[in-house]
Protein backbone atom coordinates (compact mmCIF):
# COMPACT_ATOMS: atom_id res chain seq x y z
CA UNK A 1 0.00 0.00 0.00
CA UNK A 2 2.87 2.40 0.81
CA UNK A 3 4.14 2.03 -2.75
CA UNK A 4 0.75 3.10 -4.13
CA UNK A 5 0.66 6.10 -1.81
CA UNK A 6 3.95 7.32 -3.27
CA UNK A 7 2.80 6.91 -6.86
CA UNK A 8 -0.59 8.51 -6.09
CA UNK A 9 1.22 11.43 -4.46
CA UNK A 10 3.21 11.94 -7.66
CA UNK A 11 0.04 11.70 -9.77
CA UNK A 12 -1.75 14.25 -7.59
CA UNK A 13 1.29 16.52 -7.86
CA UNK A 14 0.87 16.47 -11.66
CA UNK A 15 -2.90 17.08 -11.27
CA UNK A 16 -2.26 20.14 -9.10
CA UNK A 17 0.82 21.59 -10.83
CA UNK A 18 0.14 20.82 -14.51
CA UNK A 19 0.35 24.52 -15.42
CA UNK A 20 3.89 24.81 -14.12
CA UNK A 21 7.14 23.78 -15.72
CA UNK A 22 7.16 20.31 -14.17
CA UNK A 23 10.37 18.34 -14.19
CA UNK A 24 9.47 14.66 -14.07
CA UNK A 25 12.94 13.83 -12.74
CA UNK A 26 12.11 15.86 -9.66
CA UNK A 27 8.78 14.10 -9.19
CA UNK A 28 10.49 10.71 -9.29
CA UNK A 29 13.05 11.96 -6.81
CA UNK A 30 10.35 13.36 -4.48
CA UNK A 31 8.59 10.00 -4.56
CA UNK A 32 11.88 8.24 -3.67
CA UNK A 33 12.08 6.30 -6.94
CA UNK A 34 14.67 6.08 -9.65
CA UNK A 35 13.31 7.63 -12.84
CA UNK A 36 13.13 4.25 -14.58
CA UNK A 37 11.28 2.56 -11.69
CA UNK A 38 8.93 5.53 -11.33
CA UNK A 39 7.96 5.59 -15.03
CA UNK A 40 7.43 1.82 -15.09
CA UNK A 41 5.20 1.82 -11.97
CA UNK A 42 3.27 4.91 -13.05
CA UNK A 43 2.54 3.38 -16.43
CA UNK A 44 1.45 0.08 -14.90
CA UNK A 45 -1.12 1.93 -12.76
CA UNK A 46 -2.35 4.72 -15.03
CA UNK A 47 -1.69 3.19 -18.46
CA UNK A 48 0.43 6.16 -19.55
CA UNK A 49 3.93 7.41 -18.85
CA UNK A 50 4.02 10.41 -16.46
CA UNK A 51 4.89 12.65 -19.42
CA UNK A 52 1.93 11.48 -21.50
CA UNK A 53 -0.32 11.72 -18.44
CA UNK A 54 0.79 15.33 -17.87
CA UNK A 55 0.02 16.13 -21.51
CA UNK A 56 -3.43 14.53 -21.21
CA UNK A 57 -4.19 16.56 -18.06
CA UNK A 58 -3.11 19.77 -19.80
CA UNK A 59 -5.30 19.08 -22.84
CA UNK A 60 -8.32 18.19 -20.65
CA UNK A 61 -7.89 21.44 -18.73
CA UNK A 62 -7.52 23.33 -22.00
CA UNK A 63 -10.82 21.83 -23.20
CA UNK A 64 -12.51 23.13 -20.03
CA UNK A 65 -11.10 26.62 -20.65
CA UNK A 66 -12.07 26.59 -24.32
CA UNK A 67 -15.61 25.54 -23.35
CA UNK A 68 -15.71 28.66 -21.19
CA UNK A 69 -14.84 30.64 -24.34
CA UNK A 70 -11.34 31.72 -23.29
CA UNK A 71 -9.07 32.85 -26.15
CA UNK A 72 -6.98 29.96 -27.46
CA UNK A 73 -3.68 31.65 -26.61
CA UNK A 74 -4.80 32.18 -23.00
CA UNK A 75 -5.88 28.54 -22.69
CA UNK A 76 -2.55 27.42 -24.15
CA UNK A 77 -0.51 29.43 -21.65
CA UNK A 78 -2.76 28.72 -18.67
CA UNK A 79 -2.31 24.94 -18.99
CA UNK A 80 1.47 25.09 -19.26
CA UNK A 81 2.28 25.16 -22.99
CA UNK A 82 4.88 27.71 -24.12
CA UNK A 83 4.05 27.70 -27.79
CA UNK A 84 0.62 27.94 -29.47
CA UNK A 85 1.96 25.89 -32.37
CA UNK A 86 2.89 22.91 -30.23
CA UNK A 87 -0.34 23.35 -28.24
CA UNK A 88 -2.43 23.15 -31.41
CA UNK A 89 -0.50 20.13 -32.69
CA UNK A 90 -0.80 18.21 -29.41
CA UNK A 91 -4.46 19.21 -28.98
CA UNK A 92 -5.29 17.92 -32.44
CA UNK A 93 -3.34 14.71 -31.93
CA UNK A 94 -5.23 13.91 -28.72
CA UNK A 95 -8.74 15.18 -29.47
CA UNK A 96 -8.86 14.85 -33.25
CA UNK A 97 -9.72 18.52 -33.79
CA UNK A 98 -7.91 21.84 -33.56
CA UNK A 99 -8.57 24.08 -30.52
CA UNK A 100 -10.57 26.50 -32.66
CA UNK A 101 -12.70 23.74 -34.23
CA UNK A 102 -13.31 22.32 -30.75
CA UNK A 103 -14.28 25.73 -29.40
CA UNK A 104 -16.62 26.41 -32.31
CA UNK A 105 -18.27 23.02 -31.81
CA UNK A 106 -18.82 23.83 -28.14
CA UNK A 107 -20.31 27.23 -29.01
CA UNK A 108 -22.76 25.60 -31.41
CA UNK A 109 -23.72 22.98 -28.80
CA UNK A 110 -24.24 25.71 -26.16
CA UNK A 111 -26.32 27.79 -28.55
CA UNK A 112 -28.44 24.79 -29.49
CA UNK A 113 -29.14 24.00 -25.83
CA UNK A 114 -29.90 27.66 -25.16
CA UNK A 115 -32.38 27.77 -28.08
CA UNK A 116 -33.87 24.34 -27.40
CA UNK A 117 -33.08 23.31 -23.80
CA UNK A 118 -34.96 20.04 -24.17
CA UNK A 119 -32.75 18.92 -27.06
CA UNK A 120 -30.28 17.70 -24.43
CA UNK A 121 -32.85 15.81 -22.36
CA UNK A 122 -34.54 12.48 -23.18
CA UNK A 123 -38.28 13.08 -23.45
CA UNK A 124 -39.11 10.65 -20.64
CA UNK A 125 -37.18 12.82 -18.16
CA UNK A 126 -38.51 16.08 -19.60
CA UNK A 127 -42.15 15.04 -19.30
CA UNK A 128 -41.81 13.22 -15.96
CA UNK A 129 -40.24 16.25 -14.36
CA UNK A 130 -42.68 18.66 -15.99
CA UNK A 131 -40.02 20.56 -17.98
CA UNK A 132 -41.74 20.17 -21.38
CA UNK A 133 -44.79 22.10 -20.16
CA UNK A 134 -42.81 24.80 -18.37
CA UNK A 135 -40.54 25.48 -21.32
CA UNK A 136 -43.49 25.47 -23.75
CA UNK A 137 -45.30 27.99 -21.54
CA UNK A 138 -42.21 30.21 -21.16
CA UNK A 139 -41.82 30.28 -24.96
CA UNK A 140 -45.46 31.15 -25.69
CA UNK B 1 -33.18 -6.14 -28.82
CA UNK B 2 -31.80 -3.65 -26.35
CA UNK B 3 -28.28 -2.64 -27.34
CA UNK B 4 -26.98 -0.09 -24.84
CA UNK B 5 -27.52 1.90 -21.67
CA UNK B 6 -27.25 5.60 -22.54
CA UNK B 7 -28.64 7.40 -19.47
CA UNK B 8 -28.98 6.53 -15.82
CA UNK B 9 -30.04 8.63 -12.87
CA UNK B 10 -28.51 9.22 -9.46
CA UNK B 11 -30.63 11.28 -7.08
CA UNK B 12 -28.60 13.89 -5.25
CA UNK B 13 -29.32 16.39 -2.50
CA UNK B 14 -27.30 19.30 -3.93
CA UNK B 15 -26.20 19.59 -7.57
CA UNK B 16 -23.29 22.01 -6.93
CA UNK B 17 -21.85 19.68 -4.37
CA UNK B 18 -22.52 16.65 -6.61
CA UNK B 19 -20.70 18.43 -9.47
CA UNK B 20 -17.68 18.92 -7.24
CA UNK B 21 -17.77 15.30 -6.07
CA UNK B 22 -18.23 13.59 -9.45
CA UNK B 23 -16.05 15.95 -11.51
CA UNK B 24 -13.30 17.14 -9.18
CA UNK B 25 -13.01 14.09 -6.93
CA UNK B 26 -14.01 11.12 -9.09
CA UNK B 27 -12.62 12.71 -12.28
CA UNK B 28 -15.77 12.31 -14.40
CA UNK B 29 -16.39 14.59 -17.38
CA UNK B 30 -19.33 16.96 -17.63
CA UNK B 31 -21.49 15.98 -20.60
CA UNK B 32 -24.29 18.54 -20.25
CA UNK B 33 -24.97 21.24 -17.71
CA UNK B 34 -28.04 23.19 -18.79
CA UNK B 35 -30.67 25.24 -16.95
CA UNK B 36 -34.23 23.98 -17.39
CA UNK B 37 -36.01 26.99 -15.95
CA UNK B 38 -37.29 27.78 -12.45
CA UNK B 39 -34.06 26.59 -10.83
CA UNK B 40 -34.13 23.15 -12.47
CA UNK B 41 -30.84 21.95 -13.97
CA UNK B 42 -30.02 19.06 -16.30
CA UNK B 43 -26.59 17.93 -15.16
CA UNK B 44 -25.02 14.81 -16.63
CA UNK B 45 -21.52 13.41 -16.26
CA UNK B 46 -19.69 10.53 -17.91
CA UNK B 47 -17.01 8.18 -16.59
CA UNK B 48 -13.65 9.00 -18.26
CA UNK B 49 -13.61 5.91 -20.48
CA UNK B 50 -17.37 5.76 -21.12
CA UNK B 51 -18.28 9.03 -22.85
CA UNK B 52 -21.59 7.69 -24.17
CA UNK B 53 -23.08 6.79 -20.79
CA UNK B 54 -24.65 9.89 -19.25
CA UNK B 55 -25.12 9.75 -15.50
CA UNK B 56 -27.79 12.27 -14.59
CA UNK B 57 -27.21 13.94 -11.23
CA UNK B 58 -30.81 14.68 -10.49
CA UNK B 59 -31.82 16.94 -7.64
CA UNK B 60 -34.43 15.74 -5.20
CA UNK B 61 -36.72 18.76 -5.15
CA UNK B 62 -40.41 19.48 -5.11
CA UNK B 63 -41.99 19.53 -8.56
CA UNK B 64 -43.94 17.43 -11.01
CA UNK B 65 -42.10 14.25 -9.95
CA UNK B 66 -41.80 14.66 -6.20
CA UNK B 67 -44.30 16.08 -3.70
CA UNK B 68 -43.21 17.46 -0.32
CA UNK B 69 -43.62 14.14 1.45
CA UNK B 70 -41.63 12.24 -1.19
CA UNK B 71 -38.80 14.79 -1.07
CA UNK B 72 -38.65 14.37 2.71
CA UNK B 73 -38.68 10.57 2.52
CA UNK B 74 -36.15 10.35 -0.34
CA UNK B 75 -33.81 12.84 1.34
CA UNK B 76 -33.88 10.84 4.58
CA UNK B 77 -33.29 7.54 2.77
CA UNK B 78 -30.39 8.88 0.67
CA UNK B 79 -28.73 10.47 3.71
CA UNK B 80 -29.17 7.20 5.58
CA UNK B 81 -27.22 5.37 2.86
CA UNK B 82 -30.12 3.22 1.67
CA UNK B 83 -29.31 3.31 -2.03
CA UNK B 84 -26.49 1.47 -3.71
CA UNK B 85 -26.42 3.26 -7.04
CA UNK B 86 -23.86 1.55 -9.29
CA UNK B 87 -20.73 -0.52 -9.71
CA UNK B 88 -17.67 1.20 -11.15
CA UNK B 89 -14.43 -0.41 -12.18
CA UNK B 90 -10.85 0.79 -12.32
CA UNK B 91 -7.54 -0.60 -13.49
CA UNK B 92 -5.84 -0.56 -10.09
CA UNK B 93 -8.05 -0.46 -7.02
CA UNK B 94 -5.33 0.07 -4.43
CA UNK B 95 -4.02 3.13 -6.24
CA UNK B 96 -7.52 4.49 -6.92
CA UNK B 97 -8.48 3.92 -3.29
CA UNK B 98 -5.43 5.88 -2.10
CA UNK B 99 -6.12 8.67 -4.58
CA UNK B 100 -9.81 9.05 -3.71
CA UNK B 101 -9.05 8.94 0.00
CA UNK B 102 -6.46 11.69 -0.49
CA UNK B 103 -9.19 13.73 -2.20
CA UNK B 104 -11.52 13.28 0.77
CA UNK B 105 -13.82 10.52 -0.52
CA UNK B 106 -15.37 8.43 2.27
CA UNK B 107 -15.08 4.67 2.01
CA UNK B 108 -17.54 2.32 3.73
CA UNK B 109 -15.22 -0.58 3.00
CA UNK B 110 -11.52 -0.62 2.07
CA UNK B 111 -10.36 -2.87 -0.77
CA UNK B 112 -10.93 -6.54 -0.06
CA UNK B 113 -10.18 -9.63 -2.11
CA UNK B 114 -13.26 -11.13 -3.72
CA UNK B 115 -13.57 -14.22 -5.89
CA UNK B 116 -13.59 -12.07 -9.05
CA UNK B 117 -10.90 -9.55 -8.08
CA UNK B 118 -11.00 -6.70 -5.54
CA UNK B 119 -13.79 -4.47 -4.25
CA UNK B 120 -14.18 -1.35 -2.12
CA UNK B 121 -17.30 0.68 -1.28
CA UNK B 122 -17.43 4.47 -1.30
CA UNK B 123 -20.13 7.02 -0.60
CA UNK B 124 -20.94 10.15 -2.60
CA UNK B 125 -21.57 13.59 -1.10
CA UNK B 126 -25.30 12.85 -0.76
CA UNK B 127 -25.09 9.39 0.79
CA UNK B 128 -25.45 7.09 -2.25
CA UNK B 129 -22.98 4.24 -2.09
CA UNK B 130 -21.04 2.61 -4.91
CA UNK B 131 -18.97 -0.46 -5.43
CA UNK B 132 -15.56 0.16 -6.91
CA UNK B 133 -13.98 -2.94 -8.33
CA UNK B 134 -10.94 -4.25 -10.05
CA UNK B 135 -11.91 -7.30 -12.02
CA UNK B 136 -8.47 -8.80 -12.46
CA UNK B 137 -5.76 -9.32 -9.94
CA UNK B 138 -2.89 -6.83 -10.18
CA UNK B 139 0.18 -8.46 -11.69
Answer yes or no: do B95 and A12 touch at CB < 8 A: no
pLDDT tens digits for range A16-63: 999 998 888 778 877 777 888 889 999 999 989 999 999 999 999 999
How big is the CA angle at B105 (ends B4 and A79), to the nearest 5 degrees?
A: 80
How big is the CA angle at A16 (ends B132 and A51), to the nearest 5 degrees?
A: 85
Residue of B32, B88, B25 whose CA lies nearest to B57: B32
The B7-12 sheet, strands edge to edge: B7-12, B54-59, B40-46, B29-37
Cβ partners under 8 Å of residue B82, min gap 6: B127
Answer yes or no: do B99 and A11 touch at CB < 8 A: yes
pLDDT tens digits for range A89-105: 999 999 999 999 999 99
Nearest to A131 among B40, B56, B91 (CB): B40
Please determine, for the modelled complex, whether the ipTM score is greater than 0.85: no
pLDDT at B139 over 60: no
pLDDT at B46 over 80: yes
Range A40-66 burial, b when 16+ CB lie within 10 A, else e: ebbeebbeeebeebbbbbbbbbbbebb
Instruction: Evaluate whether B139 touches A45 at the Cβ level (below 8 Å).
Output: no
Answer yes or no: do B37 and A135 touch at CB < 8 A: yes
Distance between A121 CA and the closest CA of chain B, angstroms:
7
pLDDT at B138 over 90: no
Q: What is the mean pLDDT of chain A?
A: 89
* Closest chain A CA to residue B92: A45
pTM of the model: 0.88
Q: Which residues of B touch A (CB under 8 A)?
A: 6-7, 9, 32, 34-38, 40, 42, 56, 63-65, 91-92, 94-95, 97-99, 102-103
Amino acid sequence: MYLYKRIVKAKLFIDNHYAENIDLNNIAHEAYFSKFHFVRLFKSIYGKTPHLYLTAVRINKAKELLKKNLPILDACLLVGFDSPTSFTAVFKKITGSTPSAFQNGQKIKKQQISNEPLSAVPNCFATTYGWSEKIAISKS
Amino acid sequence: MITKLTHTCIYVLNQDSAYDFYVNKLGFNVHTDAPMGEGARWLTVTPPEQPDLEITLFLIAEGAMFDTETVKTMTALIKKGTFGAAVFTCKNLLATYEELKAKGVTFKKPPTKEFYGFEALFVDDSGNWFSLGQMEEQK
